[in-house]
Amino acid sequence: MRAARSPSARSVVAAGEKARSTPCTADLRLRRVGTPFPRAATSNLMKMRAGPDGVHLFDRLTGWNILIDEARVPSAMWSSAPRQVSIALTNACDLRCSYCYAPKHPAALDTGRVVCWLQELDEHGCHGVGFGGGEPTLHRGLPELCRWASEHTGLALTFTTHAHHFTSRLAADLRGNVHFIRVSMDGVGATYESLRGRRFADFILRLSIVREVAPIGINFVVNARTVRDLDAAVEIAREVRASEFLLLPEQATAGAPGMDASTRELLAAWVETYRGGIPLSVSERGATGLPTCAPLPLETGLRAYAHIDASGLLKRSSFDGAGVPIGPEGFVSALRALEEIGGTS
């Protein structure tokens, strides 16, 4: 048995694997969003999923993960949803980062559809959902979605934000219904301001408001301009009591070339000598050449992760151009279709 604490998944829950037989309907979705159901009585239980690595227990409130790897579970009993799913609520964003990989055409997801998927994901063993975009705070349904999922599912709710729309009002709407927030801080001071086009002092102010809502992590795109700010960024992360520092080596996009070889060397050397108190993590795409651990080595591909874009396409990752539309039959049906197209993982 192995146990670990994961700051990116901080919630409680209950539902294990329940068979889902009734497709969601729009009426059902909207009623559920709009009705003030009481908090689920099971919300303080650990959530369980089964997979090729064993039985995985997860507590969304503390972030604790327990893997019972002595357990051998027949594949027919493995949880059918990915362990984590990211959902781009909207493509809209008011910043213009050159390395942004979010699609630029206007698109946003209907709140009722997302509720339906959250319910299905929860019932099929998913442990956590991360909202993104674009900028998810520009989607009007964000507080409602977080509240509904917190009260009616065992999912850990996280989202990634640039933080510039965080107000006390938004913080109050979200508090208690989000388990972890990832805040993007690519560079500090003048570097940040040149890349993001916003005052760094304003960002720090907003960061303090975000910190009132839930535990936070810092997302940091690493490129030739930001790599020398890593020490200063980690120091700021420490001051705001961030639980995790996520390295995102820049990926090639239409507007950016991706991280060059000399920056990769600088990053590898920095990681090698890192002695900071905040745990580091790195995106799977950017992990090449860095020392990483894989706590669930057999649960890979679509068993581990899938992405829903703002047009309702299910993809293997947010970088993929191709995907499968999620129709009235729901998420799992689309997942099966995606597996068939690209081969199971």
Looking at the Cβ atoms of 53 and 135, the one nearer to ligand SF4 is 135
Binding of ligand SF4 at residue 183 (CB under 6 A)? no
Specify the stretch interacting with ligand SF4 by CB under 6 A; choose among 90-98, 142-150, 250-258, 322-330: 90-98
Looking at the Cβ atoms of 67 and 181, the one nearer to ligand SF4 is 181
Long-range contact pairs involving 160-163 (C-beta distance under 8 Å, separation at least 24):
160/130, 160/131, 160/132, 160/133, 160/136, 160/184, 160/219, 161/135, 161/136, 161/137, 161/210, 162/93, 162/95, 162/135, 162/196, 162/198, 163/203, 163/206, 163/207, 163/209, 163/210
Q: How far apart are CA 5 and CA 321, in angstroms?
A: 33
Binding of ligand SF4 at residue 170 (CB under 6 A)? no
Using CB positions, name the residue nearest to ligand SF4. Answer: 100
Binding of ligand SF4 at residue 88 (CB under 6 A)? no
Dig out the tokens for 21 from the structure.
């037989």
Least Å from the CB of residue 135 to ligand SF4: 5
- How many residues of this chain interact with ligand SF4, rule: CB under 6 A? 11
Least Å from the CB of residue 203 to ligand SF4: 11
Binding of ligand SF4 at residue 162 (CB under 6 A)? yes
Dig out the tokens for 316 from the structure.
């293997």
Looking at the Cβ atoms of 163 and 267, the one nearer to ligand SF4 is 163
Binding of ligand SF4 at residue 100 (CB under 6 A)? yes
Dig out the tokens for 143 from the structure.
């507080």
**E-only strand ranges, the chain:** 2-5, 47-51, 54-58, 64-68, 84-88, 128-132, 156-161, 180-184, 216-222, 244-249, 280-282, 305-308, 313-315, 324-325
Q: For residue 176, which of 153, 146, 218 has the smallest C-alpha distance?
A: 146
Least Å from the CB of residue 292 to ligand SF4: 23
Least Å from the CB of residue 28 to ligand SF4: 31
Least Å from the CB of residue 196 to ligand SF4: 7
Looking at the Cβ atoms of 153 and 184, the one nearer to ligand SF4 is 184
Looking at the Cβ atoms of 151 and 193, the one nearer to ligand SF4 is 193
Among 51, 82, 130, 134, binds ligand SF4 (CB under 6 A): 134
CA dihedral 9, 284, 184, 92 (to 10 degrees): -100
Binding of ligand SF4 at residue 133 (CB under 6 A)? yes
Q: How far apart are CA 246 and CA 314, in angstroms?
A: 24
Least Å from the CB of residue 209 to ligand SF4: 17
Least Å from the CB of residue 252 to ligand SF4: 14
Binding of ligand SF4 at residue 97 (CB under 6 A)? yes
Q: For residue 202, which of 178, 230, 167, 248 has the smallest C-alpha distance?
A: 167
Least Å from the CB of residue 158 to ligand SF4: 15
Residue 157, burial from CB neighbour count under 10 angstroms (0-12, 13-18, 19+): buried
Q: How far apart are CA 309 and CA 315, in angstroms?
A: 8
Binding of ligand SF4 at residue 135 (CB under 6 A)? yes
Looking at the Cβ atoms of 73 and 100, the one nearer to ligand SF4 is 100
Q: Provide the binding-site residues for ligand SF4, judged by CB under 6 A.
A: 93, 95-97, 100, 102, 133-135, 162, 184
